[in-house]
Amino acid sequence: MHRKFWIGALALALLISLGWGWNEYRLAGKYRTATENNNRRALNDFASHLDQLETDMAKGNVASNPAQKILYLSQISSKSEAALKDFAQIPAQQTGLSYVGQFLTQSGDFTRILAQRIAGGGTISGEEEKTLRDMHERLMPVNQQVQDLILRMDTEKLVWTDPDPSLRQRLGLGTQVAEAAADGSEAPAKSVRSGLDQLDASLQKLPPFSYTGEYATRVVEKPLGLPTGEVTRDQSLERARDFLDKAGYANATPEFAGESQGPLGGYVWNFKESYLEVSRQGGVITLHRDQRSIEPRTLSLEEATSKAKAVLQALGWKLVITSSEEFGSYVQFDAVVEKDGVRIYPDKVRLMIALDNGQLVGFDASPYYAFHHERTFPTKLTMEQAVRKLRPNFQVVESRLAVIVKSGNQEVYSYEFRGRYQGEEYLVYLNASNGTEEKIQRIIKTPRGEYLK
């Protein structure tokens, strides 16, 4: 009697498990198909955009009519953006720079700059024509290999990424599979991902393009504003204690927490919950952040602003505060250099004042030390001449001279006009030498303060 009951119960359990398993298997199959479809779409779109890109580059090379040239150059730029977007959706390995992506970005960037220049009435130099042709040359094999990959996907049923080692191999029983060579060996790729990796590797070996544009250079390699001379670890401790003393942390005893590398690198110090970085070159404080818990606020925004000015003076900075953002228990201020009435925005220092006791809980001078240098200003239009270049009906509220940063790391000496037009408030920057519009920013009021976009 008991036996029958147990057999029945177990049989039922088995049936339920089988049913559940079957259902899961079907669902997993559906998800796999959906993902596969998406990956396929991305790869096909990528290949198709790449192909159109190659054709447009070929046509752009021979077009001589400026209008046609602008057309093709703009198309190249937008197709490369589209190709990049699709490329970002193909399954990647977890790490790795993408030289394919870099190549696409730079082609798009370069052609966009050329198109803008021609649209403004300029011409392309012989050097730049050569760069365009080089880009086309480099694109052709990339295009061919991607199309080849797709063909092999259909004929050889390539998988997306190299298969993870099977159970047998993990247990050490199977033969070791040679790692898919990502160093450009000629063995055909076993998966779409390693095929793209080989493409990547072959592009990596080629010299980079040189042109001036947004993506031509990465981060500032050499900081311009650091004082000369190197400091030792003990000297940096002295600087750290001096800084903390002036910021309101009396008798601080920082502990060494390691070193940081890079152009602004140096010595990292911890004090209670503070994090402090002193640069190796010049021995200046580049970063300070106190992560202590902050008590209920007792200061208003105005009081915090005057505390900020006071601490900047105590630390020896001559800066002007340009904006504030409040985070509830602390306020963040941006302060920049103002020289001869010209506001120099790239030379920026960011500081945070706690609203419970006015202490300096955050300090970031890395933009200042990266970009500050002696600047000479070219001859400029007068204020009246500049105002005349603004669009009609733009009501100016404030105006001044300023140095701003354009895309890439280019600095522009300009007139800054803050004003209203059609119910919106803007910051309009006109080039001080010739009055062309360089940059426009829109001012929005958010719950945390003004926001420029």
**Chain residues in the site for other proteins (CB under 8 A):** 81, 84-85, 87-99, 101-102, 105-106, 109, 161, 215, 218-219, 258-262, 264-265, 268, 275, 287, 289, 291, 293-297, 325, 327-330, 332, 348, 350, 355-356, 364, 366-367, 420, 423-425, 442-448, 451, 453
Q: Which residues fall within 8 angstroms of residue 134, CB to CB, at 6 or more apart?
A: 209
Judged by beta carbon, residue 391 or residue 453, the one nearer other proteins is 453
Judged by beta carbon, residue 55 or residue 102, the one nearer other proteins is 102
Q: What's the CA gap between 360 and 354, in Å, rounded?
A: 6
Q: Which residues fall within 8 angstroms of residue 226, CB to CB, at 6 or more apart?
A: 264, 279, 281, 282, 284, 369
Q: How far is the CB of 231 from other proteins (least distance, A)?
A: 17
Q: Which phi and psi angles does 213 have, rounded to 5°? A: -170, -175
DSSP 3-state of 215:
coil
Judged by beta carbon, residue 29 or residue 96, the one nearer other proteins is 96
Per-residue DSSP letter, 174: S
Q: What's the CA gap between 42 and 53, in Å, rounded?
A: 16
Judged by beta carbon, residue 184 or residue 265, the one nearer other proteins is 265
Q: What's the CA gap between 71 and 56, in Å, rounded?
A: 10
* Residue 199, H or E segment: helix 192-204
Q: How far is the CB of 215 from other proteins (least distance, A)?
A: 4
Q: How far is the CB of 380 from other proteins (least distance, A)?
A: 28
Judged by beta carbon, residue 363 or residue 415, the one nearer other proteins is 363
Judged by beta carbon, residue 48 or residue 260, the one nearer other proteins is 260
Q: How far is the CB of 400 from other proteins (least distance, A)?
A: 19
Judged by beta carbon, residue 89 or residue 169, the one nearer other proteins is 89
Judged by beta carbon, residue 91 or residue 248, the one nearer other proteins is 91
Q: What's the CA gap between 316 and 269, in Å, rounded?
A: 21
Q: How far is the CB of 84 from other proteins (least distance, A)?
A: 6
Burial state string for 250-287 with b = 16 or more CB within 10 A and e = fewer than 16: eebebeeeeebeebbebbbbebeebbbbbbbbbbbbbb
Among residues 293, 270, 277, the alpha carbon closest in space to that of 239 is found at: 277
Judged by beta carbon, residue 63 or residue 427, the one nearer other proteins is 427
* Residue 111, H or E segment: helix 99-119
Q: How far is the CB of 234 from other proteins (least distance, A)?
A: 20
Residue whose tokens read 């008798």: 251
Q: How far is the CB of 5 from other proteins (least distance, A)?
A: 42
Helix then strand then coil, in percent of the chain rounded to 5, is: 45, 25, 35
Contact indicator for 361, 292 with CB cutoff of 8 Å? yes
Q: How far is the CB of 105 from other proteins (least distance, A)?
A: 4
Q: How far is the CB of 114 from other proteins (least distance, A)?
A: 17
Q: Are strands 395-405 and 342-354 parallel, antiparallel or unpaired?
A: parallel
Own/partner contacts of 5-13, CB < 8 Å, gap of 24 or more, are none
Q: How far is the CB of 327 from other proteins (least distance, A)?
A: 6
Per-residue DSSP letter, 295: P
Judged by beta carbon, residue 325 or residue 438, the one nearer other proteins is 325
